Amino acid sequence: MAERAAKEAKKAKAAKKAGEEAERVKEAVGKEAVAAPKFKQPWDGLLSFFTFFIWAYIVLQVFVHPVWGVATKMVRMNAFIASMLGMAAGHAELGLLLSLSNALNMEMYPLGYLVDWVPYFIFCIVWFVTIAVLARPLTPSHTKQPQTGIMVTALSMILAFATWYILAIILHWKGYEMIILATSCFLVFPIWATLFSYWPFVPKKPDIHPAIRGAIYAVISWILAFVIRGVVTFLIWSNPVATAFTQYLLGIPMITLTPTEPYDFYNSLLLCIIVGAVIMSVVSPFPNIPQPKRGLLNFGLAVLVGVAMWGILTAVVGQSSQTVLMMGEAPYLFSFPYVNHGAIASYVAFPLVTLLAGQNTFGMWPWSKWGMKGSIGLVVTSFIVGTVLYYVFMVNPGLAVIFTGANLLLPVSGLETVYMFYLGLGLMFGSTGAIWNALVYCLYFEGVAEFLGRATMFAWMLTVLIFFLLAYEAFEHWPWR
């Protein structure tokens, strides 16, 4: 009995300590309003959402647009002339490759569209978390807006560009190598605030300078991110015959089957774990367990949730098929099934955005009224909304192609001219070979617009939109509050 009473007393003491710690963290890092908000929820959330959405869409048009975007400009040269040059060399398909620099041809464009700007914006997210979250003072905010928000956002973007420049230009990393590192950072950096509640600085060393605290968190996080990236890279290249080289049919790099595999295999898994970590930060199921036990337990559950989600999505979303042109005595099309891990990554971007918007932009409205049940309700609702948006933009009617401007690639690049050239030859001279070439180009045209529309939509949401969603928190929802 005495031993049992001692255990109960010990548990009660630990629960009391955890409760006191939770209160200190709540007081320290909770959102303290400097002034009464001008608009109540959901109006504050709606106004804030459309504000950063417009910013992100302007970036899409100016920076990311596949035709005239400053960082993309996929249309490199006239497709008709390129095709003629390709035919003279015996490879008419060179016209397609030379007209569009895209992620389908990673060997020709290792830093090209889409893989050039994606890691940059993920690094923007990472540096924003470092500056505005890990290094922010644990005191009520008395900053002047919008100057503070502009400085934090600008500094995040400058440091992100420096990171990208060092890796891409100086160290000659390829785009997808940077994406794996950046995604690993996206997983690691936020957990000190969201899962570990700033442990061990809160409550042990709450008076330490914010810059020192942020620097310590950043160093640890960069080390962990490089370790994760190293493990992934080792797994990719430890058996290249079964991984990296299987993206090509019969070893011919011009005919790509799954162009961003095997990177998408691991990237989709990391993204699912990131979603799992956000879910655990929203639900926060163990408030009475002291840190770091609570953080480790939540992170372990985040990994389990992410892996389970990844397995389910592999069976539900990831199943796809590929049609390729086979050359024999007579050309024919051959279709075969495969797992499209890029589709899994594309799907999780939508519930991730809705989760972050519900947690930050809308301040858990209206779910905060119902405690943990409300938090679970936010998670379920976010997945429902995210799934609907994914279906509308990516599946049917597939608005991503129009939304991102991928539908302009064909007429602007001149690829439609190539199609009309072959079709005209076939109809004028009764050439079945020319008509066949026209049909093959039609398949290519549809595939290019659809693939790039979906890929751009996914990458824009996961990087640009999330960055501005988070960066707007540094503005403290100015001017709506």
Average pLDDT over the chain, rounded to whole?
81
Task: Give the confidence band of 424 by pLDDT, cuts at 50, 70, 90.
Answer: confident
| Residue 90 in this model has a pLDDT that exceeds 70 | no
| Residue 434 in this model has a pLDDT that exceeds 80 | no
| Residue 116 in this model has a pLDDT that exceeds 90 | no
Q: How many residues does the chain have?
A: 481
Three-state secondary structure call for residue 249: strand
Query: Residues 327-381: pLDDT tens digits?
Result: 556 666 666 677 788 889 999 999 999 999 999 999 999 998 898 999 999 999 9
Residue in 172, 219, 352 with CA at minimum distance from that of residue 274 = 352
Amino acid at 375: S
Q: In the prediction, which pLDDT does 255 show?
A: 45
Residue 333 forms beta bridges with which residues?
325
| Residue 390 in this model has a pLDDT that exceeds 50 | yes
Query: Residues 280-317: pLDDT tens digits?
Result: 999 988 888 998 999 999 999 999 999 999 999 988 88
Place of tokens 């785009």: 175
Q: How far apart are CA 362 and CA 48, in angstroms?
A: 8
List of E strands, 318-435: 319-326, 332-339
- Answer whether 179's CB lies under 8 Å from 115's CB: yes
Task: Give the confidence band of 109 by pLDDT, cuts at 50, 70, 90.
Answer: low
Q: In the prediction, which pLDDT does 189 show?
A: 96
End-to-end C-alpha distance for the chain, whole angstroms: 57
From the number of C-beta atoms within 10 Å of its C-beta (0-12, 13-18, 19+), residue 239 rates as: exposed
pLDDT greater at residue 321 or residue 51: 51
- Other beta carbons less than 10 A from residue 377's beta carbon: 15
Beta carbons within 8 Å of 45's beta carbon, 6+ residues apart: 357, 361, 362, 363, 365
